Amino acid sequence: MHRWSQLFIPTLREAPADAEVASHKLLLRAGYVRQLGAGIYSYLLLGNRSINKIVAIVREEMDAIGQEFLLPALNPREIWEASGRWSVMGENMFRLKDRKGADLCLGMTHEEVMTDIARKELRSYKQLPQIWYQIQTKFRDEPRPKAGLLRVRQFIMKDSYSFDIDAAGLDVSYDKHDRAYRNIFSRCGLDFVAVEADSGAMGGSASQEFMVYTDAGEDLIASCPNCHYAANLEKATSALAVVTELADGVVEEVSTPTQRTIDEVGAFLNVASVYQMKTMAMVVTTPDGKSKTIVAFLRGDHMLNEAKLATAVGGGELRPMVAEEILAAFGAPAGFLGPIGVKADFVILDAALEGRKNLITGANKEGFHLRNVTPGKDFKPTLIADVRNINEGEPCPKCGTSLKLGKAVEIGHIFKLGYRYSESMGASVLDSNGKEVMPIMGCYGIGIERILTAAIEQSAANRGIDARGEISYAMPPSIAPFEVVVTVTNVADETLRAAGETVAQALDKAGFDTILDDRDERAGVKFKDADLAGIPFRINIGKKLAEGKVEFVNRLTNESVDVAVEEVTQALTRVCESASK
Amino acid sequence: MHRWSQLFIPTLREAPADAEVASHKLLLRAGYVRQLGAGIYSYLLLGNRSINKIVAIVREEMDAIGQEFLLPALNPREIWEASGRWSVMGENMFRLKDRKGADLCLGMTHEEVMTDIARKELRSYKQLPQIWYQIQTKFRDEPRPKAGLLRVRQFIMKDSYSFDIDAAGLDVSYDKHDRAYRNIFSRCGLDFVAVEADSGAMGGSASQEFMVYTDAGEDLIASCPNCHYAANLEKATSALAVVTELADGVVEEVSTPTQRTIDEVGAFLNVASVYQMKTMAMVVTTPDGKSKTIVAFLRGDHMLNEAKLATAVGGGELRPMVAEEILAAFGAPAGFLGPIGVKADFVILDAALEGRKNLITGANKEGFHLRNVTPGKDFKPTLIADVRNINEGEPCPKCGTSLKLGKAVEIGHIFKLGYRYSESMGASVLDSNGKEVMPIMGCYGIGIERILTAAIEQSAANRGIDARGEISYAMPPSIAPFEVVVTVTNVADETLRAAGETVAQALDKAGFDTILDDRDERAGVKFKDADLAGIPFRINIGKKLAEGKVEFVNRLTNESVDVAVEEVTQALTRVCESASK
């Protein structure tokens, strides 16, 4: 049992002006954390208690499927050179030199170190499968640290890596993680959604993110209220309504003297944007450092999703071309660029234009567009791919219901890596025929602080502002710094104090993580501090003690009931049991 | 319960050639750790299990006296400038720049961050005392990483910091740590000794190190076999026998044409070294960057202890002067330098020469020494201080018994810091009279990996080489990766296999951290692997099962007994209970 009077729980009346999201404000005000520098936080007593509880849940679920390691944060340059990522990671990776001038970096992730162990230690298919995990501090030099613990430069991650003999084995390891992650997030009290995610250009074949809806999040996800289809915007698709095409005709130039944009051309020719083809000219710097040109065609009313486009072209950094580059590369002025006769490294047709006909698009000639252009007939794209953003309200690809778009924060990610690291770093084992084969890998991550912040954001969003005008929240009991606070409303009253002591001892003995607020403060101050700390259950020892009763406040349900003093432990046990059902 | 067949425990037949000490060899061979770079290790399953158990013990004992935080490894330059240590830490501190060019370092220790929190959050004496601790990764760019986990560049430390209103409060916080540390090391199964340590030049008033005797250690400690006096060599003293002085006489020059050393002068003048004064000329670079000269006088047969001398002059880096510097600074040739008329920033007389008389020493003149020099009468030192090394066999300062010198490794350190950081970083609180006062601080550290290595070294030293010609050791049960292994000697025998399963399940259920060796390997291989892993107890399920018996091997005592299969759990419980007494 803990006594508030003995603990260091520094609260703030107000959050700093730069704290915008609820979790940032609350973590600072309640004394969970203090900022040391941009994106660098110290976790004080309350913050550390919640973190330790999250870590314990993660460890328990991960121990059921894998083996815990602990890898160093300091990584020699050599292993990142071996994987080819020393140069790819750019400024996000903290780099340093040791006293002898050798290059080191601080690990952002540990595919390299894990694969290094695998390539040195694994020799035979008999040693597979392996799932190795760790709970360890990662460092990333975020360009814009913000939102408290949501985007920081140092954070704790559970990362795991699976090594299997074949794709079927990887499926099993991946599914084990999927189940473990669902257990972890449920036990941490989160309402999460698992979404299809972009596998990126890493050669992965499947990828799923675990998200918590919150306006504090920076990811957009599309979800179906009917069939539970959900996907990151970088992956989401929709079932578009069939468009009634314009009447057939031959390809012909049409004068559009100053009309360059979809809207300008549409107004001038009196034709809806759905009948136009939008041309996007981009440059991609590929992972091996080459520059390639891309011309992508989308329906006039659609927007490009750069992550989808990057995946379609095999990865790399994208940027739009400027007008001078477009003219130099394609001999066409910006605003009049079109598909017929255009030569680029990638000519990409968005999947939504597949099968369409009689479209209006640029003529590659100043002051002209073309009518009646039909993809496939009048020009051949090098690739047809889904490279657009879907919009809210478009039909679900599975059931046709209108999709919702919402902001969310990512709390976990599971990913079928494939052979990316086994190949680049030279990991192999002998299979049952004595043949050398590469193990197939998966990687899986959970952001420990993200669980804490998502829990706060979720609760704050549900509860809104309380009667005091304060942001209100309550931590899920499993990860709250304390599960229950016993508040002695007046410590000068010896009877109340003694009863508080008895009740708190009983709760502690029953296994509840209990704090006794024994401070010589007004009851209002104590209630406010307890609420600020997010403690989900409060037992108030006050005047009703004369009738043998105390007040039991359940902040998860906002219910408050009087309970006989000797029945407090049973009452709390009952509430916790029903909550966990 | 764990199954060996499912775990990743890669063993090596031989340790790498550069592994010299027992713990380094064993940690690698048993698959506890793998090296990633110089002084950088990955902890695999076994290593991580032991580390987690040590951490749990440390956390439990520390929670009884303090509050757990978690501070960032990334520290902005500013707080290290505030304490004045940005420049002092030199090349031992890893430094880096972020993407914006701001200077950061990786925390070697956290006085700065803790004091920063204290100065911002503590306002009143009512908030004191505070003991804040963390279990966190430290980074130090060791010039010569070696000996496996004994001297590394990244390691886990429990560090704590106390803040008190006055020196009496600090005594209490210090004593709490002393007791907690003794509990921790005892529970981890270590034979440790608490020694007086050098408080250094940090203004600390008391300091104690917890050491484990091992030849793998790099510290020398003096201890008394009779009265338990023990001290680091940097602090140790002895009760020297009284010297019968030479006959009185006047100070006079004596020709020593080519005799410069103590031995040469002694032989030439036929006088024992105990009647000579040795002159040491040194330069100290003080913490604020100034160079100062030191001339120190010791008894002819005594050796200088540089750490003691550094403390005596208020800290800094020491080096001996070369002959040219001695001549330039004192006008005397090296080998003939002496105390009379010498001018230096510090003229130091070793405490062993206090009260002595009629000594022989340099005359500050080529080819001459002086006779009959009496300190205090013939020259005045600026300081009398203990600056010598004691020797093995000298009398204990407390009881007179001959002292022993031994190598040891430091596992913990407790330290009364005083006002060093409160003052430099501006931490203050209001005392009960409303007056602003500085909190007085203590700092306290435990090396988590040091506990692991010390336990291995200690056991290996006690056990020596086994019948197989292997280094033999057994981990203390509390921190062993597994407490007990149930070895099925032949898994092809279904009866043995089933019995192994039953015994292992029973042990697991009784709370023992149990591993079942269910591998299809020869019994000899399994015994060897189990011993290599340091598992303290082994239950062998073999032929005697026909008589209802299994073999119970206690590797801590090297006893092996046959036990009825249904009594294994009781037998192990009994052994563990008697071991913990």
Interface probe with A: pick from B44, B108, B482, B508, most Cβ of A within 10 Å: B44
Question: What is the predicted pLDDT for the residue at B199?
Answer: 65
Q: Chain A: give the shortest CA distance to residue B246, in Å.
A: 53
Question: What is the predicted pLDDT for the residue at A443?
Answer: 97
d(CA B36, CA A116): 9
> Letter for the amino acid at B532?
L
Look at residue B335 and give its three-state secondary structure: coil
pLDDT > 70: percent of chain B: 99
The answer to whether A206 and A199 are in contact (CB under 8 A) is yes
Chain position carrying tokens 């203390």:
B476
Residue A333: asked if its preceding bond is cis (omega within 30°), the reply is no
| For range B411-438, the mean pLDDT | 96
Among A48, A98, A134, the residue with its CB nearest the CB of B141 is A98
Closest CA to A196 of A247, A241, A234: A234
Question: What is the predicted pLDDT for the residue at A147?
Answer: 79
Two tokens, residue B515: 């591993």
Chain position carrying tokens 């009087």:
A562
Which secondary structure element, helix H or strand E, spans residue B350, and what is its range? Answer: strand B346-350
CB within 8 Å of A186: residues ≥ 6 apart = none
d(CA B382, CA A178): 73
* Structure letter (DSSP) for residue A396: P
The answer to whether A344 and A350 are in contact (CB under 8 A) is no
d(CA A89, CA B529): 41
A87 C-beta neighbours (distance < 10 Å), count: 12
CB within 8 Å of A377: residues ≥ 6 apart = A357
Question: What is the predicted pLDDT for the residue at A379?
Answer: 96
Strands B549-554 and A74-76: unpaired
Question: What is the predicted pLDDT for the residue at B358?
Answer: 96
| For range B308-332, the mean pLDDT | 92
Q: What are the tens digits of pLDDT across the range A136-155? A: 999 999 999 987 899 999 99
Question: What is the predicted pLDDT for the residue at B498?
Answer: 97
Task: Answer whether A68 sits within 8 Å of B48, measured CB to CB.
Answer: yes
Look at residue B566 and give its three-state secondary structure: helix
Strands A67-68 and A230-232: unpaired
A402 C-beta neighbours (distance < 10 Å), count: 13
d(CA B581, CA B579): 5
Residue A158 phi/psi, 5-degree rounding, is: -95, 115
Q: Chains A and B: how many Cβ contacts under 8 Å? A: 137
Is the torsion defined by CA of B303, B305, B308, B313 positive or negative? positive
Chain position carrying tokens 């944009």:
A261
Q: Chain B: give the shortest CA distance to residue A222, in Å.
A: 34
The answer to whether B44 and A117 are in contact (CB under 8 A) is yes
Closest CA to B24 of B527, B474, B460: B460
Task: Answer whether B116 sits within 8 Å of A36, measured CB to CB.
Answer: yes
Question: What is the predicted pLDDT for the residue at A469?
Answer: 84
- Give the 3-state secondary structure percentages of chain A, helix then strand then coil, rounded to 5: 30, 30, 40
Task: Answer whether A41 sits within 8 Å of B72, measured CB to CB.
Answer: yes
Q: Which residues in chain B have their CB less than 8 angstroms from residue A71's CB?
A: 36, 42-43
Identify the bridge partners of residue B320 per DSSP, sorted by sequence position.
B282
d(CA B517, CA B504): 10
A502 C-beta neighbours (distance < 10 Å), count: 15
| For range B409-424, the mean pLDDT | 95
Per residue in B483-510, is it b (16+ CB within 10 Å) or e — as a string? bbbbbbbbbebeebbebbbebbebbbee
Residue B233, pLDDT above cutoff 80: yes
Which secondary structure element, helix H or strand E, spans residue A500, and what is its range? Answer: helix A494-509
The answer to whether B417 and B423 are in contact (CB under 8 A) is no
* Structure letter (DSSP) for residue B464: -
The answer to whether B102 and B112 are in contact (CB under 8 A) is no
Question: What is the predicted pLDDT for the residue at B581?
Answer: 60
> Letter for the amino acid at A291?
S
Q: Which residues in chain B have their CB less than 8 angstroms from residue A43's CB?
A: 69-71
Question: What is the predicted pLDDT for the residue at A30?
Answer: 96
Question: Interface pTM (ipTM) of the complex?
Answer: 0.89
Contacts by B168-171 with C-beta closer than 8 Å and gap 24+? B169/B128, B169/B129, B169/B440, B170/B416, B170/B440, B170/B441, B170/B442
Question: What is the predicted pLDDT for the residue at B228?
Answer: 81
Domains of chain B, each with CATH number or no CATH: 47-236+405-455 (3.30.930.10), 252-389 (3.90.960.10), 484-579 (3.40.50.800)
Question: What is the predicted pLDDT for the residue at A204?
Answer: 58
Task: Answer whether A98 sits within 8 Å of B94, measured CB to CB.
Answer: yes
Query: How far is residue B272 from each of residues B301, B334, B361, B456, measured CA to CA in Å?
Result: 9, 21, 12, 45
Interface probe with B: pick from A12, A32, A51, A99, most Cβ of B within 10 Å: A99
Two tokens, residue A265: 């051309």
Q: Chain B: give the shortest CA distance to residue A287, in Å.
A: 21
Task: Answer whether A42 sits within 8 Å of B72, measured CB to CB.
Answer: yes
Question: What is the predicted pLDDT for the residue at A200?
Answer: 58
| For range B477-493, the mean pLDDT | 97
Question: What is the predicted pLDDT for the residue at B465?
Answer: 87
The answer to whether B228 and B403 are in contact (CB under 8 A) is no
d(CA B345, CA B286): 12
Q: Chain B: give the shortest CA distance to residue A137, in Å.
A: 9
Q: What is the dihedral of CA A310, A315, A318, A324, to 10 degrees?
A: -100
pLDDT > 90: percent of chain B: 87
Which residue ranges of chain A lie beneath pLDDT 70?
199-204, 580-581
Question: What is the predicted pLDDT for the residue at B208?
Answer: 93
E strand residue ranges, B448-548: 484-488, 514-517, 537-541
Closest CA to A571 of A547, A546, A537: A537
Strands A219-223 and A404-418: antiparallel
Two tokens, residue B172: 């209490």
Task: Answer whether A70 sits within 8 Å of B51, measured CB to CB.
Answer: yes
Among A45, A116, A143, the residue with its CB nearest the CB of B67 is A45
Please give the model's pTM, rounded to 2 decimal places. 0.89
Residue B541, pLDDT above cutoff 80: yes
Residue B445, pLDDT above cutoff 90: yes
d(CA B415, CA B441): 9
Q: What are the tens digits of pLDDT across the range A310-354? A: 989 988 889 999 999 999 999 999 999 999 999 999 999 999 999
Task: Answer whether A117 sits within 8 Å of B75, measured CB to CB.
Answer: no
d(CA A539, CA A550): 7
Which residue in chain B is spatially nearest to A68 when comparing CA positions?
Answer: B45
Interface probe with A: pick from B71, B112, B124, B449, most Cβ of A within 10 Å: B71
In which band, very low, low, confident or very high, does the pLDDT at B204 lie, cut at 50, 70 and 90?
low
CB within 8 Å of B415: residues ≥ 6 apart = B197, B199, B202, B204, B206, B207, B208, B442, B443, B444
Two tokens, residue A383: 């690739």
Among A34, A71, A154, the residue with its CB nearest the CB of B73 is A154
Question: What is the predicted pLDDT for the residue at A581?
Answer: 60
Q: Chain B: give the shortest CA distance to residue A510, in Å.
A: 19
- Give B489's Cβ-side CA count (13 Å radius): 11
- Angle, alpha carbons A314-A316-A320 (nearest 5°): 110
Q: What are the tens digits of pLDDT across the range A486-519? A: 999 999 999 999 999 999 999 999 999 999 999 9
Q: Which residues in chain A have their CB less than 8 angstroms from residue B42's CB?
A: 69-72, 113, 117
Q: What are the tens digits of pLDDT across the range B16-69? A: 888 889 999 999 999 999 999 999 999 999 999 999 999 999 999 999 999 999
Question: What is the predicted pLDDT for the residue at B121?
Answer: 96
Q: For the CA atoms of chain B, what is the radius of gyration? A: 29
Task: Answer whether B139 sits within 8 Å of A74, measured CB to CB.
Answer: yes
Question: What is the predicted pLDDT for the residue at B323?
Answer: 94
The string of DSSP codes covering A174-241 is HHHHHHHHHHHHHHTT---EEEE---TTTT-S-EEEEEEE-TT--EEEEE-TTT--EEETTT----PP
Sheet of A74-76: strands edge to edge?
A74-76, A103-106, A95-97, B95-97, B103-106, B74-76
Question: What is the predicted pLDDT for the residue at B426?
Answer: 95
In which band, very low, low, confident or very high, does the pLDDT at B88 lie, cut at 50, 70 and 90?
confident
- Angle, alpha carbons B42-B43-B44 (nearest 5°): 110
Question: What is the predicted pLDDT for the residue at A209?
Answer: 94
d(CA A538, CA A517): 10
Among B48, B75, B99, the residue with its CB nearest the CB of A69 is B48
Per residue in B166-184, is it b (16+ CB within 10 Å) or e — as a string? eeebbbebbebbbebbebb
d(CA B188, CA B270): 56
Top-confidence residue, A580 or B169: B169
- Give the 3-state secondary structure percentages of chain B, helix then strand then coil, rounded to 5: 30, 30, 40
Residue B540 phi/psi, 5-degree rounding, is: -100, 120
